[in-house]
Amino acid sequence: MIFVTGGAGFIGSNFVLDWLTQSDEKIINLDKLTYAGNLKNLLTVAKDPRHIFIQGDIADTQLIDQILTQYQPRAIINLAAESHVDRSIHGPEDFIQTNILGTFRLLESVRTYWNNLSTATKQNFRFLHVSTDEVYGSLASNEPAFTENHRYQPNSPYSASKASSDHLVRAFHHTYGLPVLTTNCSNNYGPFQFPEKLIPLVIVNALAQKPLPLYGDGLQIRDWLFVLDHCSAIRRILETGIPGETYNIGGWNEKPNIEIVKTICTILEEIYPNVVFHNLITSVKDRPGHDRRYAINAIKIEKELSWKPAETFETGIRKTIHWYLNNQEWVADIQTGAYREWIKKNYTELR
Ligand code: NAD
Ligand code: TDX
């Protein structure tokens, strides 16, 4: 039995669905169902006895203690977080609450649970904390990509809150011996991503012939990884990573934002030859404190754990565009907010 937090969000729901295609091992999925949590992502496993969904907060110690005692998981994968940089700029409080306090409370419960395990079970237990490349701060164009030893220099309230959680996870290993693994991954894209993030926002707006907002000069660089590659990396690290180590995960796909947006327009113009999408690209005010460049050196995971991404950006972006084209009802539900009402009504049945 494994215990996943944040499993109704973008990466979490992809992880849960992918896990259940690869393994018969049960998953407990705890998610607070904030605006970013959508049980509709998990419809195909709603009746699957291997998937146990619980609505709740990682900061709720009583609930976490009860789950740990009842289900005795062999591993925890912590994906629950507030994840959107722009939201963290407008209102950082929730980021502090979940990403810092929530992770701390979860770690405290896990420490007690782990201490009480038998020696053999204790050794095999893992707490895998999913983090981001944003904790390393911004790179100049001539600087080498982030390695695991790069100094932490988070610039947004989001990345500062993730950096804090990474430090707590590290300290729980150093001080208490908790067998933790930390992953720092680059920008993900793929099915079920909330259309507030660049790639789904651009696809969804383009299909509605709405402006495609590009912050500042659009030359900021990110490294992009298809979400199922992130999921396969997490699985690999969970099974073969060394406790106390951190692993960078990346796609070797550094691209400026303008190129991402133009690529999406070009693919859509192939699919709809009579429609123009490029003219929707609109330069808008820059994000305050906007990091210029992230780049991941993923040699450690490649050399030590034999992991490589399966998708290139070219294959992954096409899969993603087609997913959004084929799931316009999912998008519409989010845009109208109907998904929240639907979850309330169907929650019991979905559990
Ligand atoms: P997301 O916002 O789509 O999903 C987060 C999920 O966590 C949601 O389902 C939400 O309901 C849940 N959640 C929020 N607060 C909670 C709480 N207090 N208790 C329980 N559940 C809670 O985020 P995502 O993009 O899937 O990211 C998942 C993790 O991966 C985050 O830790 C994020 O920092 C990290 N990450 C994301 C990316 C990316 O590009 N999306 C890249 C690297 C790392
Ligand atoms: O409308 C937009 N226009 C635009 O130019 C949006 C939403 C974004 N951008 C830019 C900002 C970034 O340079 O595109 C780039 C990507 O933006 P986001 O999709 O908001 O992602 P980012 O800020 O890079 O952070 C993401 O990757 C790392 C995730 O949201 C984080 O959770 C993850 O840790």
Ligand 1 centroid distance, CA of 81 (Å):
4
Smallest CA-to-CA distance from 266 within 257, 275, 255 is with 275
Task: Please say if 134 is a catalytic residue.
Answer: yes
Q: Where are the domains of the chain?
A: 2-350
Give the per-residue pLDDT at 343: 74
Smallest CA-to-CA distance from 77 within 143, 138, 23, 149 is with 23
Beta strands 221-226 and 254-256, pairing class = antiparallel
User: How many angstroms separate the Cα of 317 from the Cα of each of 177, 314, 335?
Assistant: 41, 6, 22
Ligand 1 pocket test: pick from 3, 4, 10 the residue with the most ligand atoms within 8 Å of its Cβ.
10
Write the pLDDT tens digit of every residue in 80-100: 999 999 999 999 999 999 999
Cα–Cα distance measured from residue 200 to residue 205, given in angstroms and rounded to the nearest whole number: 8
Task: Please say if 143 is a catalytic residue.
Answer: no
- Which residues are registered as beta bridge partners of 254? 223
Q: For the whole model, what pTM was predicted?
A: 0.97
pLDDT higher than threshold 70 for residue 347: no
Q: What is the mean pLDDT of residues 207-217?
A: 97
Ligand 1 centroid distance, CA of 102 (Å):
12
Give the per-residue pLDDT at 204: 97
Write the pLDDT tens digit of every residue in 31-60: 999 999 999 999 999 999 999 999 999 999
Cα–Cα distance measured from residue 131 to residue 134, given in angstroms and rounded to the nearest whole number: 9
CATH architecture of 2-350: 3-Layer(aba) Sandwich (3.40)
Say yes or no: CB of residue 36 within 6 Å of ligand 1: yes
Give the per-residue pLDDT at 340: 79
Percent of the chain with pLDDT over 90: 95
pLDDT higher than threshold 90 for residue 252: yes
Cα–Cα distance measured from residue 316 to residue 302, given in angstroms and rounded to the nearest whole number: 20
**Which residues lie closer than 8 Å to 90 by C-beta, 6 or more apart?**
none
**Which residues lie closer than 8 Å to 19 by C-beta, 6 or more apart?**
2, 4, 25, 27, 231, 235
Radius of gyration of the chain (CA): 20
Give me the phi and psi of 312, to 5 degrees please: -95, 170
What ipTM describes this predicted complex? 0.99
